[in-house]
Amino acid sequence: METHAPALRACKERRHNLALRQHFETAQTLLKPLRGDPNSHSGTAFYRAMNSLQRTFPDMSVSEIEALVAAVVRSVQTRVGNP
């Protein structure tokens, strides 16, 4: 009989684009106005956020920029004490 201890299993990285991780802190700083007021989450605010990140990281694709904006917004929405 073979047993599999959870501690012995290798953890598989579920993220596909690990390069985005290194830009997350900068994105949080750039998107601080967007993060501060959840009521400002409009199409215009997201466009400005994406435009700001695109100027800062010109080598990133549009889908990577969108993923970074979504990650920053998700981190704000999932904070403890945030309804």
Q: What is the pLDDT of residues 7-63, one digit of tens each?
A: 545 555 555 667 788 888 888 888 877 666 666 667 777 788 888 889 999 999 999
How far does CA 19 lie from the centroid of its chain? 11
pTM for the model: 0.64
* pLDDT in the model for residue 58: 93
Residues 6 or more apart whose Cβ sits within 8 Å of residue 31: 49, 52, 53, 69, 72, 73
